[in-house]
Every structure is written in C-alpha cells, then in structure tokens.
Structure 1
C-alpha cells in the first residue's frame, strides 16, 4: 500500500507540532510527512523579547527542523501556490526552478505577518518584531544608539538617539518595550557615564485605551501603572500619523478620519528607533491558494480543523493557527484567538484527526477554553491572569518563564534556555552591539579594489 503524503505548509507552532505528532503516530508505511518552510528552524516567538534583551542566546529561541523532525522530509523553500482542486503545491526552493508536489492531505499553517498601515515613513524607518532576525537587529540598533548619544556634540541628535518608540500595546509590544527599557537602563547605569537616565525616553503608542487586553482590565491597568512608574511615556488612544526621516507625529485615535485631522495638530518629536508591533494578519501566501477564506483573509475551518467552503468540507485540506478561522466552541459565535496557546493545542487535535481519517475513523472537534495569559514586564516583573487567578510582580514573572520553558519544543532547547537564565543570575548581562552582523561584507568590499577593464577584456 502506497503511503499517503501529508504536506505541511509552514513550520511554526502548528506546523512543527503537527508534523512531530504525525511522524510519531503514523509509520512511514502509512504516511510520508513533508514540511515546507523557507527557514530551517521554528522560531519560538514568545522568547523574542528575551533574545532581544540578551537574557537568552538567540539560537536557543529557535528549534532546528532537521534535528526535531527526524522522521519527516524537510523542504527548504517557499510555497508559491496551492491548487487544492488538483491537490498540488508549487514550491520555489532556495535555489533552482520551482517544482510541483502532489499530496493526499495538506496542513495550511504559514502563520501570520505584521499588520502594517500606509503610514508615511513606516516602510523606511520601522522595525518589526516577528522574527529572530528582527529581534537581533533591534538589540544591536538600540545599543548602537547609546554609543551615538554618548559621543555626539549635537543635543538634537542625542535626544533622538535616546528616544525609543514602540507602537502596539499587546503582548509583543509590551514585552519588547519592557525588556529593552531594562537593557538601556542597566547599560547606562554601568557603562555610559556620559549619559543620564533622565535623558532616556521610551514611548508606547497604542490606538485603544488599554494595554494587554489578554490579561484582563485589572491586570492591564496594573501593567500600565508599573510601566508609568518606570518613566515610560504611555500614549493610549493615540495613533502614529507619520515617521518620515525619524520625525514622529502622533495624534488622538478618536479623531481618526475626521476632516479636521492635520498632521501638524499632533505632537511631533524626533526618534531614531521605531518598533512596530501593532497586530498581525494572515500570511500573504494564502492569496495564492484556491482555499475559501473569511472576511479578514483567514482560511475558513470547521471545529474539526478541516477547511470548509460554506457547509462543504474539503477533502484532505486542514488549517490551524494564526491563518485559520476556527470556531471557538466554548464561546458560541466567536473564533479562536491567534495565540500560541490555541496553536499548540490545535496542532495536536489536527494531527490526531488526520490520523483518524487515514485509518478510517471520524475526526473530533477542537474545543479548548482559554485558560488565561501571562506577560513579562522585564526582569523579575510580570502580570498573569490564569484560571481566574490574578498574579503580579515576581510570581507572575516566574509563571511566565516557567510556562514558556515548558512549551518550547525539545529537551535540548529547554536545557539551553534554563542554562542561559541560570548564568544570568550570576553574570552581568551582555550589552555589546554587533551591528556588523547586518552588513558583514561592507568592510571587505571597501578594502578590495575593483577590477579595471582593459582593452583586451572588452
């Protein structure tokens, strides 16, 4: 009997966990699991703030696919088209021409990308916070700005270098801001006698009137008060109007779209750092599929995680995670939130359902009541709202670390992360900028002379 081919598009939380479970639950005689992703690793995104802050090594926040998925076939490439009518995916490998691959089942889990807006200057000046590369870049950029501020004789350049703007008051924005504020405060206190803490300005821009809605209004308000005590400038009900050449313009969100809006009406200041964490949207890869999608671009799913077109279930098509619109059976009329908590659990149910279908059984519905959330607010600080229990301060920070350490795949990564944290208790945090990582060939090309054309070479 020929094994059925299961193609997994994307190796994020859903893709990796589903592929790992399928490879354990189904023998190679039953199924071939193929994982397609441009990156050779899965990024555990909740650890990006800690990686940016230097609390853990960036390499320890990613999971190598070939090490973890030993019984799967790994294809390093990008899916450029899914034609489910023919059960075919088109793959653009890292090198060479594109190829087609047929499948019996497909798991569509490319995840999400940053949800950006057509704001003047954002494309040129903004820094995202979705990938390990962006986390490393942010760390190096922030530390570079301290070096600039320490030596410049220009007060305006100094102020702009010490002004850090974060847009978005969700998990990613708050945790990244809090960790980087810790880094800057510690670095100035220990290594930059030329700089004063009072010169540093961290600004959080949030379009709504609250932060961290996932932990509830009470814990969100507590987090806002704690950030305010640290001198962080919280701009709630505020939107970013423009950031051309580092010239930040803010305006009240409540006035959005009104005829009297004028960029000159808002506050204006300069900042050399602008981090954008204002939400996510489904991967644009979905635009190149024939799968049905909801009003916000998500793949429409049944509670079984099978892709549906109206009331019709598409044979062999499955989706979950950030890119999927999955009904929340614990909250009728709502859909599961795009969180790692749902993604990991959906991956398990999805893998079990594919196995059931292959073996001739009926798939089961995904049902999970959201247990709550935890968020870090920097070293030894956090908030949590779990199973109705509200926790803050160091206990919440400990819960945050413990939960995410338990969720990152592989024993190897768990050990390395704990080792990093243990060393951080006894050794000082590294505050070294390695900006050359982002343009490693510049120095070499600068000292290498060009080849001059000669008459014989023409």
Structure 2
C-alpha cells in the first residue's frame, strides 16, 4: 500500500497550518500532500486595513506558501466541486481548464468570503476589505477623491467625494474607518489650495448599538470615544438599503451623498461548504470535535467554513470564525490526521478565546488579552506583538517591523498607484496612449474656434 493522498482545500491560516503540521509529523513515504489555492501566498488578513492606509506594504502582510511549505505540492486553482463518493474534487485552473484530483483524505479549509446582502447596487458600487487587491484599490480610490476635490470646485461633487461611509462596525470596519479617516485628514492638510480637513467626513454605520461587541462594553465605549475625537460619526441601528455610484440610502430613508461605501458587514462561509451534502449551520460545514465531517469518510474540516463545537463554552456554541481559531484548528487537524493514519486515537479540539486586539492607528489601540482590558500604548504593544507572532516567517516579521518603524519616523505618504485610472489592462490602457486629444478635440474642450486653434 502506497502513501496516503491528502488534498487540502484552501491556502489560508487553517490550510497552511495543517500542511505545516503534516510535514513536521509525517515521513515522506507516509503521505503525499497537495494544497489547492488560487494564490501561492498566505495573506495575513488582520493587517489589511494598515495596507489600505499605507502604513504597511503589501509584501509585509503576505507570506509565500512555497517558502513556508517544503514538501507539500502547491496546486494553483480553485476547488469548485467535490464528489465524496468517488473521493475526487474538481479543480479549476487559472486558464479555465478543470482537472480532477483523487484523495484518500480531504481537508476542507476554504475559508470565508464577504457576506453580501441583497442590497441594490452593493455589488456594483461597494468596496470590500477581504483581499489584498481590495485594500490597495480602496487606498487608491480614497486618495483619488481628495485629488479631484482639491481642484474641482463644484460643491455638490466635492461633498460626495469627501464623504466616506463604512457599513459594519466589527473588527474590519472599525479599523478600516479609523486608519483611513486618519490618512484622509492628514492628506487634506497638504492639498493646496482649497481642501480643508474639516470637509472630510467619515461615518461608521452598524445595525447594532455598539462598536466591536467582542471587546466588551467599556472598551467598545473607548473605541467610540477615540473615533469621535477624530471626527468619525457613529451611526447605530441602521444599514444600507441602496447603493449608487453617488450615494447610499440607509434603512431609515436617509440619503448620504458619497462616492465611497465600504462594506464590512460580516463574512459568509465559502460556497464550497454547501456542495458536499454534509450538514451545515448557517452555511458552515458541521464538524465533530475531532474535526472530522460526520457521514463523509476521509473528509475533515476546520477554519471559517467549519462549524466546530466550542468545548470551552459548551452547549450548541460553535467556535467563532477568527484567525485565532483557524490557526489552532489547522494545527490540531494535522495532528489528528497523523493519528488517524497511524491508527492512534484522535483528540478533541479545545481552545479558550485569548481575546482580541484592535489597532486604530499610531498609539490608539485597544486589546483584551485573557479578559484584561487595555488601551493606549500598552494595548498597542500587545496588538503589534500578537501580529508579529502570528506572521509565519522571519522575512514577513522583519518587513512589518521595518514598515511600522519607518511610518513612525517619516509619517504618511499620499502617493496613488492609479489602479482606478486605467480603462483596460492592455499596454495602451496602462500607458493611456488613447487619452491625448486631436487639435479639433482640444479646440472643442476649450471652446475655441478650430481655425484659431
């Protein structure tokens, strides 16, 4: 009997940690491991808001999967379907070609996606904060609004461009609004001659009545106070009812003129979770405490797409879809899979919540490690220490520390790359060779007699 074939679906925290544990515990002749993911880099999601604000470079929050994993075969593509009966999964490559991968054990860690509600215009005009591309594009878009408003002069259009609305006051929404608000106000001070920082307006909209309930009532109130001092308006009890290119309508009927609606109102499990025929809870695959999927032999699941019982809380409570649980579940699944291959007993997953950290920019931070509430510099020390520990390589930690240090010394930069300026991805599109006007077009634009032009 040859080595067991293990296919891991997803290259996020859970999938990579599982693969690392398998490499550490298994001999090469015991198993052949493949990891399927669209990208060969592991993205550290908690630091995306700092990329959007320019504090960190994109390379600081991404780790090469091939640098972390030595013996695991990386398969670029997406698993778009699974047939548990034949033990095969369908992988769609970037070229569009589909292939079948056979497995003895299938590890499902496809992660989560942004939860999109049925809000008219949201898909077309909303901005997300779930991928590196979204973070970079959002930064470019936000600074572009200031660029245009600094010279246009039309009051109604300026009001739209300088008004920013974030829907969702959880971790991602609060941090994104906090750091981008600080960036835009700092940028406005340098835009000559007519842009007043007080004209920049940020709103943080949530259907609840508190910021980041996970922080607790006191720290949540502290977060609200910090943001209020910076000029971020907290709008509780509401959400978006409609989004257009130039406005957002809230559920109470209020229309806010804006060109920027950032949607961070929660996440949803990967759609792959519903393709297996397994039981689900709110779209998440039901997993046992040992991280196996009941009724599907050889199938395991963990991370955001899995509903894993939280043994520290008991009852029907499931582990929250956080990076903290994904990392530890991935490691635990790897150990249990090794035990299964060697005929040894598997252990249940049990991990207490260590709390959360929130970086609001500079020395404004909040943390709740082990239930202890911290704010200011102590919280920032804990927050950044946690992030450095969670990054998987020395290179990523070094880049992140360097970027934090440089930003602390030199401050903000307001350079745009110009993602949103290009009509196509061709050479002519990027270099904008078709933008130049003919003599007649110049005359028309300047309202000049063509014969005099």
TM-score calculated relative to the size of structure 2: 0.92
Alpha-carbon distance in 1 for matches of 2:79, 2:284: 17
Partner of 1:292: 278
Alpha-carbon distance in 2 for matches of 1:34, 1:157: 52
Residue segments in structure 1 that go unaligned for 5+ positions in a row = 253-265, 450-458
Alpha-carbon distance in 2 for matches of 1:444, 1:147: 20
SS at match of 2:239: strand
- Within 5 Å, which residues of 2 pair with 1:193-208? 193-208=193-208
Alpha-carbon distance in 2 for matches of 1:221, 1:337: 23
SS at match of 1:354: helix
1:325 partnered with 2:307: yes
After superposition, the C-alpha distances for 1:301-347 in whole angstroms (9 at most, x for unaligned) are: 001111114xxxx3211111110000000111200000111111111
| Aligned match for 1:403, one of 366, 386, 399 | 386
The worse-fitting range, judged by mean Cα deviation, of 370-379 and 71-80 is 370-379
The worse-fitting range, judged by mean Cα deviation, of 239-248 and 98-107 is 239-248
SS at match of 1:308: coil
Partner of 2:376: 393
Alpha-carbon distance in 2 for matches of 1:70, 1:51: 28
CA 1:444–1:53 in 2, change beyond 3 Å: closer, same or farther? closer
| Aligned match for 2:418, one of 427, 431, 435 | 435
After superposition, the C-alpha distances for 1:215-262 in whole angstroms (9 at most, x for unaligned) are: 11111111112111211111011121112232221234xxxxxxxxxx
| Aligned match for 2:352, one of 339, 364, 369 | 369
CA 1:17–1:382 in 2, change beyond 3 Å: closer, same or farther? same
1:276 partnered with 2:263: yes
SS at match of 2:240: strand
Partner of 1:120: 120
Q: How far off is 1:395 after superposition? A: 1.6
After superposition, the C-alpha distances for 1:26-53 in whole angstroms (9 at most, x for unaligned) are: 1211111100011121111001011111
SS at match of 1:306: coil
1:156 partnered with 2:143: no
Q: How far off is 1:96 after superposition? A: 5.7
Q: How far off is 1:445 after superposition? A: 6.9
SS at match of 1:33: strand
Q: How far off is 1:401 after superposition? A: 1.1
Q: How far off is 1:400 after superposition? A: 1.0
Partner of 1:258: none
Q: How far off is 1:193 after superposition? A: 4.2
Q: CA RMSD in A?
A: 1.7
Partner of 2:30: 30
Partner of 2:249: 249
Partner of 2:174: 174
Q: How far off is 1:293 after superposition? A: 2.8
TM-score calculated relative to the size of structure 1: 0.91
Q: How far off is 1:128 after superposition? A: 0.6
Alpha-carbon distance in 2 for matches of 1:290, 1:36: 17
Partner of 1:356: 339
Alpha-carbon distance in 1 for matches of 2:387, 2:189: 30
CA 1:362–1:433 in 2, change beyond 3 Å: closer, same or farther? same
Alpha-carbon distance in 2 for matches of 1:448, 1:157: 23
After superposition, the C-alpha distances for 1:67-118 in whole angstroms (9 at most, x for unaligned) are: 2212110000111111112111111112263111111111101100111111
Q: Are the equivalent residues in 2 in contact too, given 1:330–1:369 (CA < 8 A)?
A: yes
CA 1:158–1:168 in 2, change beyond 3 Å: closer, same or farther? same
Q: How far off is 1:447 after superposition? A: 4.0
- Within 5 Å, which residues of 2 pair with 1:62-77? 62-77=62-77
- Within 5 Å, which residues of 2 pair with 1:29-178? 29-95=29-95, 97-178=97-178
SS at match of 2:81: strand
Q: How far off is 1:59 after superposition? A: 1.7
Q: Are the equivalent residues in 1 in contact too, given 2:186–2:197 (CA < 8 A)?
A: no
CA 1:445–1:426 in 2, change beyond 3 Å: closer, same or farther? closer
| Aligned match for 1:306, one of 273, 292, 300 | 292
After superposition, the C-alpha distances for 1:147-176 in whole angstroms (9 at most, x for unaligned) are: 011011200111111000000000000011
| Aligned match for 2:405, one of 402, 408, 422 | 422
Q: How far off is 1:55 after superposition? A: 1.0
Alpha-carbon distance in 1 for matches of 2:193, 2:214: 39
Partner of 2:443: none
Q: Are the equivalent residues in 2 in contact too, given 1:291–1:299 (CA < 8 A)?
A: no
